[in-house]
Amino acid sequence: MTCPHAAAAQAGDTVVIDPMVGDLDGETARIRDAGPLARIDLLGVPARAVTRHADARRLLLDPRLVKDLDAWELWRTGQVTRAWPLIGMVDAGRSMFTVDGEEHRRLRTKTSQALTPRRLEAIRPDIEKFTAELLDALAAGGADGAVVDLKAVYAQPLPMRVVGMLMGVDPEANTMLTRQYKKFFSMLTPQDERLALLADLDVFYADLVRQKTAHPTDDLTSALILADEGGEPLTEEEVVGNLKAMVAAGHETTIGLILNAVRALLTHPDQLRLVLAGEISWEQVIEETLRWDTPTTHLLMRFATEDIEVGDQVIAEGEGVVISYRVIGRDPEQHGPEADAFDLTRPAPIRHMTFGHGPHICPGAALSRVEAGIALPALFARFPRLALAVPSGELRNLPVMTQNDLESFPVLLND
Ligand code: STR
């Protein structure tokens, strides 16, 4: 007979991350129990997971941790190759996501300037229009008491339309991009197929960059191509790298934010009532969801250029470091003994770290807040009696190790 606590890791044990994501809450707790610098195993590849808010805050500012793959001993010595199913998460081409220091600033500036809250006000009407269209599609799909998939029909198309519009991607390509990224992230995809689809995406993005070079328009891709006064223009590889980082990140993470918020509200009806009565703001809903059920489970990866002490432990030079955001959001030292509870009555502002910290802090944070800040209230205004069509325990995560993404989200509109 197995002891009920057999699965609880002891500090120092290695937690083997489940590629099928069969029990995300259980795994989150096991990693937390394994200590501030947990040893984890990612499909046979060992890494250290940062699991405490205060440590992450410090380490994300530490220049001894870098994104450069060549600082990773397992990569340098050929023990990790492109045959590893997670390689696409770290070897993603030259972009703001993979470069540090002064070069990083050069690669990132235009993107962060395009995504300030003030600049985003200009696209709010577009996001409202997309949302209204998708609500109509949802109403059609869920008419006459039919079960409709809130993910496929609402939460998934919205972020792709928004980021596609910002980057100047032809909306006709959205279906292809959604399919390809689903395949990219899924651990059920054979690695040769994953590498092939990444190569196809590179061709697609390079074509787009050439098109925008010939005919610049009013989008961020065109802005990235144009040189600043006196500045070095980005190379085609750099523009492609930024473009694919924006589309992948802008699409995938916001789906999780919207669905995780809806799931939290539908499974906490007393709190939903307070929200619908106007006693709790949608902003609070979004921030508590970001803390409690982060769209990014683990962020891969940084590498130690020297030994780095964390409490009584050491990240050894050459080791890979993962920031385990979902565990960090449940850190009792930061959020109190009730860190595992979804609680909209927590005092605002909720000081979570879900968008990261330091130079690589999410440049799309304000955009995701605008999208969720439109999509969530609009959904509940139109369908205030929205309900899950299956018991919440039957909602399954996709087999994706780094993202917190549900397979589907069947609902009844009850309108
Ligand atoms: C996916 C594959 C690709 O072509 C480019 C990137 C770079 C940005 C990455 C993205 C990746 C995966 C999801 C990430 C995103 C940045 C933010 C997002 C890690 C590797 C998060 O989940 C936070």
Ligand 1 atom closest to the CA of 325, numbered from 1: 23
For range 390-408, the mean pLDDT? 98
Instruction: State the CB neighbour count (10 A cutoff) for residue 300.
Output: 20
Whose alpha carbon is nearest atom 8 of ligand 1?
A: 245
Best of 60, 69, 87, 89 to mutate for ligand 1, by most ligand atoms within 8 A of CB? 89
On the 0-12 / 13-18 / 19+ scale of CB atoms within 10 A, 269 is exposed
**Looking at the predicted structure, is the pLDDT value of residue 77 above 80?**
yes
Side-chain half-sphere CA neighbours of 287 within 13 A: 16
For range 225-249, the mean pLDDT? 90
Ligand 1 atom closest to the CA of 89, numbered from 1: 20
Split at pLDDT 50, 70, 90, the class of 2 is very low
Split at pLDDT 50, 70, 90, the class of 10 is confident
- Amino acid identity of residue 99, one-letter, is V
Q: How remote is the CA of residue 89 from the centroid of ligand 1, in Å?
A: 6
For range 36-49, the mean pLDDT? 98
> What is the distance in angstroms between the CA of the first residue and the CA of the last residue of the chain?
49
- Amino acid identity of residue 190, one-letter, is P
Cα separation, 67 vs 304, in Å, equals 9
- Amino acid identity of residue 133, one-letter, is E
Cα separation, 164 vs 254, in Å, equals 13
For range 184-196, the mean pLDDT? 98
301 preceded by a cis bond (ω within 30 of 0): yes
| Length, in residues, of the chain | 415
Q: How remote is the CA of residue 97 from the centroid of ligand 1, in Å?
A: 8
Phi, psi of 335 (to 5 degrees): -115, 5
Which sign, positive or negative, has the C-alpha torsion 245, 299, 190, 98? positive
Percent of the chain with pLDDT over 70: 97
**Looking at the predicted structure, is the pLDDT value of residue 9 above 90?**
no
Cα separation, 373 vs 236, in Å, equals 34
* 3-state secondary structure (DSSP) of residue 316: coil
**CB within 6 Å of ligand 1 — which residues?**
88-89, 92, 97, 244-245, 248-249, 252-253, 296, 299, 403
- The predicted-structure confidence for 272-300, as pLDDT tens digits, reads as follows 999 999 999 999 999 999 999 999 999 99
Q: Are 261 and 289 in contact (CB under 8 A)?
A: yes
Whose alpha carbon is nearest atom 22 of ligand 1?
A: 296
Cα-Cα-Cα-Cα torsion 332, 338, 339, 342, nearest 10 degrees, comes to -170
Split at pLDDT 50, 70, 90, the class of 12 is confident
Comparing CA positions, the residue from 90, 87, 397, 86 lying closest to residue 256 is: 397
Name residues whose C-beta falls within 8 Å of residue 244's C-beta, 6 or more positions apart in sequence: 92, 93, 95, 201, 202, 205
- According to the model, what pLDDT value does residue 307 have? 98
Ligand 1 atom closest to the CA of 300, numbered from 1: 19
Ligand 1 atom closest to the CA of 253, numbered from 1: 22
DSSP secondary structure code for residue 152 in this structure: I
- Amino acid identity of residue 229, one-letter, is E
Comparing CA positions, the residue from 236, 231, 81, 246 lying closest to residue 167 is: 246
Q: How remote is the CA of residue 276 from the centroid of ligand 1, in Å?
A: 34
Q: Are 367 and 250 in contact (CB under 8 A)?
A: yes
Cα separation, 253 vs 286, in Å, equals 13
Q: How remote is the CA of residue 16 from the centroid of ligand 1, in Å?
A: 22
